[in-house]
Amino acid sequence: MARAIAEAGIPTTLWARRASSLEPYADTPARYAETPAALAAASDVVCLCVVGDDDVRELVYGETGLLAGMAPGGTIVVHSTIHPDTCRELAEKAAPQGISIVDAPVSGGAPAVEAKSLLVMVGGEDADVARVRPIFESYANPIVHLGPLGAGQVTKILNNLLFSANLGSAISLLELGETLGVPRDKMCEVVTRGSANSKALGSIAMFGGTLDNLAPIAGGLLQKDVRLAASLADTAGAVQGKVFDAADAALAAMGHPR
């Protein structure tokens, strides 16, 4: 995403926790900042790509955080998948400084970025979203504005809940097929070309028909997101139904029980 922004001709400054993370951008026109505050001081829009709520807070708050360096009129974009309440908390802290928050979790991974077809799920005020849309357009299509701040997070969390549930259903199917005498690789070959195909099954097939190799990559992240979905459901008084059961089965199979 950072490369796409820089190569689109948008003046770009980068910061990362590890210096090695910046090495791949040496051939781009991007500059580097020493701290999040310095990054914010050099930017009118800052895009955050970190894992969880506490990571976002760590980068936004404090003496060297983004709010310490950003000028009024700036916008912080949260690409991380976090609780929508955290986005609203950030907005309350940022508003007195004239800084806006947009939540914009993404889906699609590196191949989608390279094809400029990353899916961006956006929540925020119309004017704020319009301001950052040209940046999103350097790496994303579609860009879906879902509503007020937090709406992007709700949608991404529910997307990942269903993906987890689909993983659980798919692995159960493969286990059943194996019991009935159909090898997993053959079942994957058939179903990935048939009407029952899914992104989840395709991911399992890519990693040999089990969740063993997928778990180190996705297990912890999906565990986080299913927990977020459960929190949202509890707050809304919604029943955690079969979609959670299937998601829990996948998490347990990956060694990351909810």
Asked whether residue 64 is domain-assigned, the answer is: yes
**Chain segment 240-250, per-residue pLDDT in tens:** 999 999 999 99
Number of domains observed in the structure of the chain: 2
Give pTM, 2 decimals: 0.95
Same domain, 173 and 218: yes
Helix axes of 242-253 and 151-179: crossing angle, nearest 10 degrees:
70
Which of 116, 156, 199, 242 is catalytic? The answer is 156
Could you list the residue range(s) of the whole structural domain that residue 170 is in? Answer: 154-253
Is 258 a member of any domain? no
- Is the domain of 19 the same as that of 124? yes
Q: Which of 148, 177, 203 marks a domain boundary? A: 148
Q: Are residues 66 and 162 in the same domain?
A: no
Domain C-terminal end among 148, 163, 191: 148
- pLDDT band (50, 70, 90) for residue 208: confident
Whether 156 is a known active-site residue: answer: yes
pLDDT of residue 14: 98
Closest CA to 119 of 148, 140, 147: 140
One-character DSSP codes across 140-208: EEEEEEEESTTHHHHHHHHHHHHHHHHHHHHHHHHHHHHHTT--HHHHHHHHTTSTT--HHHHHHHHTT
pLDDT digits (tens, 9 = 90+) for 53-83: 999 999 999 999 999 999 999 999 999 999 9
In a domain, 162, yes or no: yes
125 and 225 fall within a common domain:
no
62 and 136 belong to one structural domain = yes
